[in-house]
Amino acid sequence: VPLSTPVSHTNTPITAVGERSLIALIKARFPGSPEQLVVGIGDDAAVAAPARGMLEVLTTDALVEGVHFDLKYSSPEDVGYKALAVNVSDVAAMGGRPRLALLSLILPERMRVGDVEALLDGIAAMANESGVIVAGGNLTRSPGPLIVDVALTGAVGPRKILTRAGGKAGDALYVTGTIGTGAAGLQWLRTAGESQRGTPEIPGVATCVVRYRRPEPRSRIGWMLGRSRAASACMDLSDGLADAVIQLASSSGTGATIDASRLPIPEAATGVFLDRGLDPVRAAVAGGDDYELLFSVPERRAASEWLSGSRGASRSLASAS
Amino acid sequence: VPLSTPVSHTNTPITAVGERSLIALIKARFPGSPEQLVVGIGDDAAVAAPARGMLEVLTTDALVEGVHFDLKYSSPEDVGYKALAVNVSDVAAMGGRPRLALLSLILPERMRVGDVEALLDGIAAMANESGVIVAGGNLTRSPGPLIVDVALTGAVGPRKILTRAGGKAGDALYVTGTIGTGAAGLQWLRTAGESQRGTPEIPGVATCVVRYRRPEPRSRIGWMLGRSRAASACMDLSDGLADAVIQLASSSGTGATIDASRLPIPEAATGVFLDRGLDPVRAAVAGGDDYELLFSVPERRAASEWLSGSRGASRSLASAS
């Protein structure tokens, strides 16, 4: 009995090909890695070998259409990419490296096979960039929005875990990359005409839009911060810098002072906010689409070469008090 | 800075208390186990110790309102219970024992705090019954249906894995418990008046309704089948017996013959189907709400005491050919 029929027409509605063909499509896209995956996609569950001598990081995060994305501003491929990226960011924030993903795809009947293929392409792109193996998942139809829900495991050394709670009074706060970039990208998309949305003319604005659609989780930096034990506490900026600073500080039992003049807000983002009558600092710290890492560093290490070095990914903010 | 305010009014809309209060509620409900959980609910991700010497089972399954449940027929507590149960069933079908769950709750704004508490009560009840620890999760609002998406890890011995592919021609097929029970329960609920739905008068029908609302995953039997290596192949019946037999047989490269007279369909379920003009055998094998296990057993073991023993949970069906 053949379990699937080949899917050739990307414009075919998913309801016409059935669940089994879609599973075959997913299985073909994610062949797994025999070294790590004893049983892959297609059985009741996946079976994997744990990472030797490591603890396991476990996280889940969902992107919901109408809440976290709009298919007017992001392609199905962007949505797939971002859905895995936001989970990779959470694992990085614990000092872990990501390993195995489970995809829970909740698909509206209006979707085409080609949309699902694009979604899988985006997931595969992020999986390749971050070294993630898709181990399994679940498909179900949605009577409402498209939802891409990902569960991700990772590995972290027993004494290399970065929590939110390890900060101490006097620590310096750093953030990777820039803030407000994703929020500016979304602002721009919301006010751009339909025909412009693909390609903003100003390069800096184009960067904001790309960052909004496809955030780059700080996987390597999180892993290095954990291994080097340079950071006392760490978390990612999924809900914006303002929220993250409050959460990191209160988890650590401290307060924090932020010097607004030292916030790494890109010029293009400032321009987008000003053009729309928004205060750039407020918009940037409230913006929730930066998947950067916020971390605290003990005073004596804050001036070290590693942190102020050539990467340019870290910027001192202010000290916790 | 207090991260949460105590939630006292179960009738309060969830939008009025905010995400952080709901997370505090979940954290209080699932304190975790310090032995297994190094970092629990409330950080970017959970961190756990793997099970020593074991492989890891990974699965995810979602219950979507309007697709898998209707709040007219199931309470929020039932939905929570079942959402974890269907995942426990998948781990059992691999010969594993369940360990750690991640909850992804996608909540419509109309929900009340009390509904969320009831959902958590149901999850907690199943977690207690199956020895599962809730390690973390994610909350998001839903512009459409209520969705309870669970990812579950489990542990299985390296040579104790039950796949769908191990069956051989000549093996006998067994199924645990009864079939058609859940489907009959749902049929009954669909045709019962609103006032009757709580308590069917006929005890056998009440059992069907309870089984539909709160399936009992065969966690211990799956684990024993794996450990004893009694079964050559195994899967759960999430999509009904007919579908499971086809999938197990084709994964194993065999066919299968089912003797309809030996199907374990409860009398009350047969009655419900007949009353509604349905063929009981067709309805029972197509019914998708039995979270029983289908497994194949090599001929020489099929008559063993263990399988025909006092549990009464296993019934021979027919041999694969």
Closest Cα in chain A, distance from residue B136 (Å) = 7
Which of these, B288, B44, B174, B220, lies nearest to A217 by C-alpha position? Answer: B44
Contact assignment for B46 to A65 by CB distance below 8 Å: no
Q: Is the torsion defined by CA of B151, B157, B163, B165 positive or negative? A: positive
Which of B39, B89, B149 lies closest to A104 in CB terms?
B149
Q: How far apart, in whole angstroms, are the C-alpha atoms of residue A176 and residue A312? A: 8
Q: How far apart, in whole angstroms, are the C-alpha atoms of residue B99 and residue B135? A: 9
Closest Cα in chain A, distance from residue B202 (Å) = 34
Q: What is the CA radius of gyration of chain A?
A: 21
Going by pLDDT thresholds of 50, 70 and 90, the confidence category of residue B4 is low
Q: What pLDDT does residue B242 have?
A: 95
Q: What pLDDT does residue A32 have?
A: 84
**Chain centroid to CA B255:** 27
Q: What is the CA radius of gyration of chain B?
A: 21
Interface of B with A in 182-241 (CB under 8 A): 234-236
Q: What pLDDT does residue A300 have?
A: 75
Q: What pLDDT does residue B79 have?
A: 98
Contact assignment for A43 to B236 by CB distance below 8 Å: no
For chain B, what is the mean pLDDT? 90
Q: How far apart, in whole angstroms, are the C-alpha atoms of residue A11 and residue A115? A: 8
Interface of B with A in 63-92 (CB under 8 A): 64-68, 89-91
Amino acid in the structure at residue B112? R
Which of A1, A44, A163 lies closest to B39 in CB terms?
A163
The count of other CB atoms within 10 Å of the CB of residue B234 is 31
Going by pLDDT thresholds of 50, 70 and 90, the confidence category of residue B320 is very low
pLDDT at B128 > cutoff 90 = yes
Q: How many CA atoms lie within 13 A of B160 on its CB side?
A: 23
Beta carbons of A161 and B38 less than 8 angstroms apart? yes
Residues of A in contact with B142 (CB under 8 A): 64, 67, 144-145
Chain B residue closest in CA terms to A134: B58
Contact assignment for B45 to A137 by CB distance below 8 Å: no
Picking from A44, A159, A291, A292 by the largest number of B CB atoms within 10 A of its own CB, the best residue to mutate is: A44
Chain A residue closest in CA terms to B252: A1
Q: What would the pLDDT profile of B180-238 be if each residue is shown by its tens digit?
A: 999 999 999 999 888 878 778 899 999 999 999 999 999 999 999 999 989 999 999 98
Q: What pLDDT does residue A308 have?
A: 46
The number of residues making up chain B comes to 321
Contact assignment for B60 to A102 by CB distance below 8 Å: yes
Q: What pLDDT does residue A69 have?
A: 97
Q: How far apart, in whole angstroms, are the C-alpha atoms of residue A74 and residue A90? A: 22
Please tell me what DSSP assigns to residue A246: H
**Chain centroid to CA A190:** 21
Residues of B in contact with A134 (CB under 8 A): none
Beta carbons of B226 and B286 less than 8 angstroms apart? no
Helix axes of B113-130 and B14-29: crossing angle, nearest 10 degrees: 20
**Chain centroid to CA A208:** 15
Q: What pLDDT does residue A197 have?
A: 81
Q: What pLDDT does residue B227 have?
A: 93
Picking from B58, B90, B164 by the largest number of A CB atoms within 10 A of its own CB, the best residue to mutate is: B58
pLDDT tens, chain A, 321 aa long: 444 555 457 889 999 998 889 999 999 999 888 888 999 999 999 999 999 999 999 999 999 999 999 999 999 999 999 999 999 999 999 999 999 999 999 999 999 999 999 999 999 999 999 999 999 999 999 999 999 999 999 999 999 999 999 999 999 999 999 999 999 999 999 998 888 787 788 999 999 999 999 999 999 999 999 999 899 999 999 889 999 999 999 999 999 999 999 999 999 999 999 999 999 999 999 988 999 999 999 977 665 545 543 333 344 444 443
Beta carbons of B160 and B227 less than 8 angstroms apart? yes
* C-alpha dist (Å) from residue A263 to A199, A266, A285: 27, 9, 9
Contact assignment for B61 to A138 by CB distance below 8 Å: yes
Beta carbons of A225 and A231 less than 8 angstroms apart? yes
CB pairs under 8 A between A and B: 216
Q: How many CA atoms lie within 13 A of B70 on its CB side?
A: 8
Residues of A in contact with B147 (CB under 8 A): 106, 147
More confident residue, A313 or B8: B8
B106: left (phi over 0), alpha (psi -120 to 50) or beta: beta
Contact assignment for B143 to A67 by CB distance below 8 Å: yes
Contact assignment for A58 to B45 by CB distance below 8 Å: yes
Strand locations in chain B (E): 37-39, 46-48, 55-64, 97-108, 133-142, 147-156, 172-176, 233-236, 293-297, 314-319
Is the pTM of the predicted complex or chain greater than 0.90? yes
Which of A56, A104, A251 lies closest to B50 in CB terms?
A56
Contact assignment for A58 to B94 by CB distance below 8 Å: no
Which of B48, B103, B164 lies closest to A43 in CB terms?
B164
**Helices then strands (H, E): number in chain B?**
11, 10
